[in-house]
Structure formats: C-alpha cells, structure tokens
Structure 1
Amino acid sequence: IKSANTKALGVKFLSSQKRIISMNELLLQLYQNKFAACRDTAQQLLKNQSDNDALYLILAATTHRQKKTAKALQELKEFAAVRPDSIAIQFAIVQLELINGQDYTAAIESLTRFLKTLPEKEQHRPGYVALLVWLYDQAGLGEKGVDLLSEAGAVWAKDNKGSESGTALPLTLLRQTAAFKLRSHRYKDAAKDYEELVRADPSDPASIAGLIMAYSEFEPTLAEKYGASLPEMKNVMALDVEALERVVPGLKREYVSAENTGGATLGGGRRPLGPGSRPRRTGARRLRKRQPL
C-alpha cells in the first residue's frame, strides 16, 4: 500500500483504483487498531467522497471497536441524517441496536422508520419483510409479523398475477408464510396457505405435512384424511427393534439381562434389571474396598 501511494505510481492509477487503495489503507489501519489515523484518513476522504457509505461505516467501526457501542450508534444516526437514503447505514444502525443489549424494539422502530421512506413496492421487498418479521418474532410480537406478511402478500399478489403456480404468492414465499403462521399458533390461517400449496403441488409431502399439523389443532378429521395421502417411506432399512431395545446406553453388556434375549442370564444367574434398578457392583469394585491383610 505504501508503494502504491507514491507519486511515481499514483499518476498511473485511475480514480477508481485510487479509491480502492485508499479503502484498503483504511481497513488496514482499522484492523491494526490505529483508530486515530483511521478516522483522520476517513474524514479527509469524505471531503471528496461524500457519497461513499463505506467511509461512514468505518468511522462508526473505529468507535465500536473501542467498545463504545452506544457512541458508535449515535454517530451512525447522525450519518443517517446526512445520507437518509443509505441502506448500508440504516442496516448498520439496526445491527448495532441488536448488539447494544439486544434492543429489538429499537431495531424495529429504526427499520420501520426507514422503510416508510421508500416507495410501497420497495417497502415490501422479501429481504426487508423477512428481517422485520424476524425482529417481531424475537421481540415476542408474532401477531405483528403475521399482519406484516399478510400486508406484504397483497403487494406481492399484484406482482405475481398470471403466474403458472396459480397462487397469490410465489411458492417459496407462501411456504415461509405458512410456516411462520404455524409457529405463531394461527392454525386456521396456516391451513389456508398450506391448502394453496397442496393445490399447486398435490405430491409435495412437506406441504401435506404442514396442512396436517395445522388441521390437527382444530379439525382432526381432515388431518386424518390428509394423513392417509402421505406417501409411504421408501428404502427403509430393516431394523431389529428387539435388539435395539436390549442396548441400554451407559451400561455394559454384561449388565443387560439375558432373560430379554431368550437365553440364560450372563454372569451366572444374575437377576434381571428392572425399571429403576441399579446394576450390581462387580467383584473388581468390591476388591478395591477390602482392607489389606
């Protein structure tokens, strides 16, 4: 980096290349914990690169790496006022709010405030919706997450008209929505989504299983009906269940009663182990307790 910054080589680089070299120098200073030099360089670069969001993030990173997360968060909010359209800065704010005491409520407020500044179509991009739903889930606000999914579904349905699947949402999004509703105990709403998935692909076992789980909570008869349509398991290895039951984890084989194996007991007629009974001590353990002659 030092050689690249010399005047002899500097005139040979394009402006884009110089920008990359400057960023590499900044990152090197950051990871070498040269925070003062890093901040000075970043502030100098901002005079000519005020649209470079990475510089704002590096300034906040120097503060955060000095274990001043609250101050770094305040800096980012000030940068967001200068660059209100910066997705990188907004998401960095959300990330630091989660780091700073797992403040899900503050993260939800910051993300919601930013999304409201975007056009409606942009507000409901799957990535944004997924993050906000996850935050609602972590904050114990599952109902709001489901409401957001329903709202986003109406927007996605407009963009998905005429799709070959015949569903209001893309199948991948519909699966995620149905699964979230199932986790949120909104079984009837989840059943409706799984019904759409089953209509789109009647042979999909995952959708049928989800539908059965939803129906089992409020319509057991329908759950049994769909349960009969699940495909049988194939290529299942033959298992000796009795042999598996004889293997007691944590005990030696000599402690397992041969009565269960259909033969004489091991160890000269040792009595079988019953539920809750403890294995008898071996002779070796008894010998260790004897006093020397």
Structure 2
Amino acid sequence: MTKRTFIAACVQMRSGRTVSRNVEEAVRLVSDAAAQGADYVQTPEMTNILVRSRAELFDAILPEEACPALAAFQELARGTGVYLHLGSLAIRVEGERAANRSFLIDPQGDIVARYDKIHMFDVDLPDGETWRESETYRPGEQAVTARLPWGAIGLTICYDVRFPTLHRALAEAGAEVLASPAAFTKKTGEAHWHVLLRARAVETGSFVVAAAQGGKHEDGRETFGHSLIIDPWGRVLAEAGDSPGVVLAEIDLDKAPEIRRRIPSLENGRRFSVLPLSNEPTFLRDAVGG
C-alpha cells in the first residue's frame, strides 16, 4: 500500500532586494528543514526577490530557462532528497511583464508542476497602501494539481486564498493538500490570514500548508508571517511567528477522506442559479445551515 503519511515543512522568509542573498537564505532554511526530517518543504511567495520598484525587479529577474535561482533550487532538491515547493519566484515572461510562478521540484531535481498565480492583488487598503500586481505580473489561467508520493496537492498563491471556488475545484480534482504560499501584508494578515486558511481547509476537507514572508523588508513593506499547517478539521498543527525560520508537522492524508465522509460538503454541493435584482422581494427556498 502507498504510504500516506509524511512530514511537511514551511520555510518562513524575509526576502529582500538581492536575489543571491535570498537564495542563500532559502537554501539554508530548506536544508535545516530537511535535516529535521521534512519530506516536503514549501517556501513562500516571492522567494527570490521582494521589491516595490519595477525597474529593480526587471533588472534582477530572468526567464525560467535562464534563471540561476531556479537551477540552484533544483540542485538543492537533489542534494536534500526532498520535494521542494518554491511558493513562487518572479520570472520574466515577456518584455516588462513577469509571472508569479510556483515550482514543485522532485528529489531528482526535476520540475513536476508549475503554477502561475491567477488572482492579482489590485487593492487600495484603508491605511493608504495601494497594490497593483496586474501592472507587473501576467495572471495565470490554469488551476494546477500535482501528484506527490503520498497523495495529490493543489497549488495556489497568496491572494488566491480569497477565492474559495478555486480551492473547491482543486479538491474536487483530487487534491487532499492545498498549498497557499504567501506574502500577506501585516494589516490584512492580522485581520484575515488565520480565518481564510482555516476556512479553506474546513470547506474542502483538506490539509493546508502555507509558508509566508514575515517582518519588515528592505523595501519598507511589512508582511505578516505566521506560516501555518492546518488539518482538514481546521486545527492548526504548526505555526511560525513573524521571523524567518522553519515549522514542521506530520501529515496523515487518511484524515482527509475521513473528514470528507463526516462532513461531505464536496459531495453535497449543488449547482444553482441566481435571480436578478429587482424591486420585488426575493425569497430563498430550501436553504440549509451548517
């Protein structure tokens, strides 16, 4: 029988402007996680660089086939023997456009899955912070699942966590682990990080693994940290603080179908239509609670 238990690790980082320094720090932390027994290691969104300036970004990044950071991480996976999930790298794709791209690398150093972040963080926050990811990054158009030795994983990145239909689709496609590497702002993280990730776990009956950026970065931004590993019942199995480091937890994938049998929300989902707005009162029939 296929073994269904493995050790997952989140690498929490505080990436800065210099790719080589960020890669060096990631290598150190991934190696630490492997030494502690991790089988699967996830790094956060923007592992290779975190910088506001578009000019600095495009001076530092390269296409996938020429990216030395990606090559270094492939060698790291070979050396440590882990499944290395790069939460994302900034990758040049066309002119002054980049992809925010996850890579899942097997212990032989081969890339077994890629995922480009679908949902762009284009927001104006109450404290005056403004973000327009779509001005720099080309959004992805394809949801991605991948096969690990223990079961299937669904790939997402950061802002994707606010779109539950993506996570439900990944779970319906067979994923029992949902990856949610992130660089959440401190303000939104304090308000929503835990509740969003726990909700995605509970509503899909899935494990959630979310490696994060944390702390005050070189470009002045603050990220929330608190990398999390959550079980399908919504329980937090491991949590980091706001500093760089590693957290680990054992994942027993047999718990996912057990929870899905107990609360069969994936199976019980139904298609429905939405009545248009009108001046007449609308009554919902056959509503259910949960």
Q: Same fold (TM over 0.5)?
A: no
Higher helix share goes to which structure? 1
> Looking at CA atoms only, which structure, 1 or 2, has the larger radius of gyration?
1
